[in-house]
Structure 1
Amino acid sequence: MGAPDREPGLQEVEELLSTAVTLLRPYLDAARPSAEAAAPESVLGEAPDAPAGGDERPMVEIRCFGGFRVTVGGTAVDCGAVRPKARSLLRLLALRAGSPVHRDVLLDALWPDLGHEAGVRNLHVTVSRLRTLLEPGAERGSATLLTRDEHSYGLALGWPCASDVREFDRRSTVCLRPAPGEDPERRIAALRAALRWYGGELLPEEGAAEWVVGERRRLRGRAARLCATLAGCELELGRPDAAAAAAEQALTLDAYLDEAWRALVTARERLGDPAAAERGRRAYARTLRSLGVTPGPDAAVTAGRWWSAPPRP
């Protein structure tokens, strides 16, 4: 009789799981667009909920748009259990989840008035408290979520995970670089799917903190561009009502976005509402004047011809 089969070791199990994920990934990716095809009720909505049930639910969920939330294994992390500085550190790391952040960046952002040594001590203490918060009961040195690599720290998000900022960034980058000959309906679905991840202002809890202001402005501007692009696509398909809604949403995010004003005026004209179109022209003229640009004498006449897509019958 031969020797009994050997139990597989941990490393072998991990390799088998990794191989299985790699083999299944094309099928998962192929199924994803059909689940996203339905348009939301509004242009911008809350970030999609994570898949419910079983192993499909992300182990870590991070939401930075519209208010900060973190769940680990389906359980919400009580961020109120730690001090404000620890909460800010967690938000900063969450914003850059999956990427290491050098300690000097953290010190400049959170302890700018302390000397280097005092700042490093505060950072070590705060990181220790966050590890206890994220993985209560984990033995010293065994935490896996908040990691350290020499002088850098980060939230190590393995698969599966969900980060609304990373997902919005990834999807919006694809949407703003359309493939030649792409089906308009498919692009509209992709634009709406990307916008669903933008759930509002980035980390509003941090106010005007320097480390978040620039990223907040960048992501808001990207959402505005997606809305303006969506408005243009809807105009091309002869849907001025949807185009007007998308253009209006773009202007709530960026009141100076030229293509959104153009799309809005054109959509209102195609809806047979010349008064609303004229109000749009005048509002755009006021916007130009606020920037120190004087509208030309024919601006009100030519505004409706800005959009190049011809009306459909």
Structure 2
Amino acid sequence: MATTTSAACPIFSLSLLGRFVLTGPDGAVSLPNKKLAGLLAFLACMAPDPQSREKLSTLLWGSYLDAQAKQNLRQALFKLRQILGQDALRSDGELVSLNAMVIACDVSQFEELVQDGSRDALSAAADLYRGRLADDISVGEECWSEWVAGERERLSELALGAMVTLGGHELSEGRAEQALRTGQRANALNNLREDSHRLIMRALSATGRNAEALKYYRDVVALLKRELSTEPDLATRSLAAELRSNHPQNAAPAAGEVAPEASPPPALVMHGERPSLVVLPFSNMSGDPEQDYFADGVTADIITALSRFRALVVIARGTSFALRDKGMTSQQIAQQLGVQYVLSGQIRKAGNRIRVSAELTHSGSEAQVWSDRYDRPLTDIFDLQDDVSSSVAAVVDPAVRSAEIERARRKPPTNLSAYDLYLRALHHLWGGTREDITKAIDLLRQSLSLDEARSPTLAALAWGLVMASPLGAHTSPDATTEALSLARRAVEQDGTDAFAHAVYGFTLFGPAGDNDQGRIHAVEAVRLNPSSAFAWGTLGMIDSMAGDYENAVTCLHRSLVLSPYDSMLHLWMTGLTASCFALGRHEDGIAWARKSVQHNPGNGTGHRMLAANLVAAGRLEEAREITRRRDATQKTTIRDLRAMRFFKQNDALERYLSAQQVAGVAD
């Protein structure tokens, strides 16, 4: 905990460009939850301007009742002062602001560097922009989503402009290679901005690679036609004409002539639909050559684990290892292989512990998409290898998916492919609100109208239809039949897709009532991809509803360990609180239920499970207050809960319904 201070230099440093990282005098500082991090991020971005308490409570607790939202804000501000010190926040009645003398934020530093505009300042700004704003902070409130989306777009545009301007400085000072790399970084952030394409063309020409510059222009023409159904603007066309007139030998070949082969510049290598990734051999930093085998084993296992995620194209082990001793940088390897993402890492041994650090970067921009480290005791070497490789693979897949979703969201809505629509839908599919699930279903139907045979889209739409009713969204009477048909088609299209099997299993088990067959498919999903948090979570939910509560707890814990920042946490936590209720572990059930509704305030079942566990623990007034608050948002009766039949076993169901009656749920 920080002490009160009036020191001139900030005590804390807050990084928001990329992952949320708060650092204090003693190193990294952890915050208890995402909303506390979101509150600090918002105040830091708005500093020094004071913000009204009403605005802050709406931003982060807008779906709560007004009194509860204000109480949550008071508690959050109190907690921040405990962590940062009393001087960190300034409060004048209804207004709150962050004290920049206590905490420094990279966003304000970035904006000051961009405003400076000098070559050195722009270079520092480009290095400071490590990714989109607070990329790992997810808050399920509409006001937060709108604010953070706008800020992410604004800061991304600032970074792009800074990189293009920096590239111009580099060119004017004769550093064409640096200008080319800067243009490629800008282009990786948004490959539809023509000023970055013009920078690359000028840089290629300045290095004497005129044929590549004109070939690049032809690729730009194709890109804009495919993505935007338009032609390059006048400035880009004029630059191409200038290059041809200055270097007539590089003009387009006449009819019948064969153009010389020229490799397209890296930023415009055309990939297939699925994102592609190379895993570089992890480095052994322990100084012990005998640990090389362990580093290689972890790398190989990560490649195998990632290959089970059908949404990724993963470069084979042989190719990855063959490039290890070629003296190439990770970016050069990515360019040669034509992949969009690079996973690299280091392994250190210290005494009886192993530390594995891993980092995922975008190959064009070299921006960090994700990073983490894993400290494990050195016990059974093979178990350790399995544990680390599955843990890394489980979080890399959603990290890539999030980056791809953001790419799709930047595209104009009039030029979306079936895959773009699918990616946009995923953002809403895991949102956990009735509005999100309704939007996801609409986007997935649009995607299937363009490509009706994509297994992931079929499975995603089936999941959306299954989750619509529990989230309070309107569904048609034949939604269950349609979901079952879609999920079955997804498995038939790709029998090795773990996600499709998990969705089919859940659909069979829940809405369709085919319990045994549903669990068979869920078990198959885990077998196909043991690193899939979704597969483990689905199997755990099935066991929680079916009555195998101990196994449910094991599976759901496994899901949480594999993907601790997953947007589906609220659902898996609901399964845990239900299992705890059935097992009589009511205090554990209360704890998991509170985490569930904190992660997704719109999770109705989470609120009902919280009330049931509170009743069972003898805390009746708290249970009735939970019921009153939930009924104010979405009223549910005992008849409704009986029809939902979360518990398939009669004794657990009757205990659950009895607890709901005591908690005040109407008949």
- The TM-score by the shorter chain falls in which range? 0.5 to 0.7
Distance 1:304 1:74 in 2: 58
Query: Displacement of 1:231 after TM fit?
Result: 1.3
Deviations 1:141-193 (A, max 9, x none): xx11123222122221227x532111111120121xxxxxxxxxxx3223213
Distance 1:93 1:72 in 2: 18
Kept in 2: contact 1:266–1:305 (CA 8 A): no
Kept in 2: contact 1:221–1:253 (CA 8 A): no
Corresponding residue for 2:111? 169
Query: Which consecutive unaligned segments of at least 5 residues does structure 2 have?
Result: 1-5, 140-144, 244-667
Deviations 1:210-229 (A, max 9, x none): 22111111111111111111
More helix by share: 2
The answer to whether the aligner puts 1:69 opposite 2:69 as a matched pair is no
154 and 302 in structure 1: CA distance in 2 versus 1, 3 angstrom threshold: closer
Higher relative contact order (CA 8 A, sep 6+): 1
Superposed, 1:4-83 pairs within 5 Å as 58-79=10-31, 82-83=32-33
Distance 2:8 2:91 in 1: 28
Query: Displacement of 1:304 after TM fit?
Result: 5.9
The answer to whether the aligner puts 1:199 opposite 2:130 as a matched pair is yes
For residue 154 of structure 1, the aligned residue among 97, 117, 123 is: 97
SS of the residue aligned with 1:148?
strand
Distance 1:273 1:228 in 2: 20
Superposed, 1:199-238 pairs within 5 Å as 199-207=130-138, 209-238=145-174
Query: Displacement of 1:104 after TM fit?
Result: 2.4
Distance 1:112 1:305 in 2: 55
SS of the residue aligned with 2:128?
coil
| Equivalent residue letter for 2:207 | L
Kept in 1: contact 2:13–2:104 (CA 8 A): yes
Distance 2:81 2:232 in 1: 57
Query: Displacement of 1:242 after TM fit?
Result: 1.4
| Equivalent residue letter for 1:65 | L
Query: Displacement of 1:243 after TM fit?
Result: 1.3
For residue 185 of structure 2, the aligned residue among 233, 236, 249 is: 249
Of 162-171 and 112-121, the range deviating more from structure 2: 112-121
Kept in 2: contact 1:86–1:126 (CA 8 A): yes
Corresponding residue for 2:270? none
Query: Displacement of 1:71 after TM fit?
Result: 2.5
| Equivalent residue letter for 2:23 | T
Kept in 2: contact 1:65–1:203 (CA 8 A): yes
Deviations 1:19-64 (A, max 9, x none): xxxxxxxxxxxxxxxxxxxxxxxxxxxxxxxxxxxx8963221111
Query: Displacement of 1:291 after TM fit?
Result: 2.3
Distance 1:302 1:170 in 2: 32
257 and 263 in structure 1: CA distance in 2 versus 1, 3 angstrom threshold: same
Q: TM-score, normalised by structure 1?
A: 0.65
239 and 261 in structure 1: CA distance in 2 versus 1, 3 angstrom threshold: same
Distance 1:63 1:292 in 2: 38
Corresponding residue for 1:48? none
Distance 1:214 1:170 in 2: 19
Distance 1:125 1:210 in 2: 24
Corresponding residue for 1:294? 231
Distance 1:304 1:174 in 2: 34
276 and 56 in structure 1: CA distance in 2 versus 1, 3 angstrom threshold: farther
88 and 64 in structure 1: CA distance in 2 versus 1, 3 angstrom threshold: same
Query: Displacement of 1:232 after TM fit?
Result: 1.3
Distance 1:56 1:196 in 2: 26
Q: Matched residue pairs, number?
A: 232
Query: Displacement of 1:102 after TM fit?
Result: 1.6
For residue 208 of structure 2, the aligned residue among 263, 272, 278 is: 272
Kept in 1: contact 2:167–2:182 (CA 8 A): yes
| Equivalent residue letter for 2:88 | L
Query: Displacement of 1:300 after TM fit?
Result: 7.0
Kept in 1: contact 2:10–2:100 (CA 8 A): no
243 and 304 in structure 1: CA distance in 2 versus 1, 3 angstrom threshold: farther
Kept in 2: contact 1:100–1:153 (CA 8 A): yes
Q: Which protein is bigger by CA-based radius of gyration?
A: 2
Distance 2:89 2:187 in 1: 38
Corresponding residue for 2:51? 101
Deviations 1:248-286 (A, max 9, x none): 111112222222111111211222223432342123213
| Equivalent residue letter for 1:70 | L
Query: Which consecutive unaligned segments of at least 5 residues does structure 1 have?
Result: 1-13, 15-54, 136-142, 176-186, 307-313
SS of the residue aligned with 1:196?
helix
| Equivalent residue letter for 1:104 | E
Distance 2:37 2:239 in 1: 51
Kept in 1: contact 2:22–2:28 (CA 8 A): yes
Kept in 2: contact 1:265–1:304 (CA 8 A): no
SS of the residue aligned with 2:181?
helix
Q: TM-score, normalised by structure 2?
A: 0.32
Distance 1:304 1:210 in 2: 42
Corresponding residue for 2:120? 189
Distance 1:83 1:249 in 2: 33
Query: Displacement of 1:76 after TM fit?
Result: 2.8
SS of the residue aligned with 1:241?
helix
Corresponding residue for 2:87? 144
Q: What fraction of aligned residue pairs are identical, expressed as a percent? A: 28
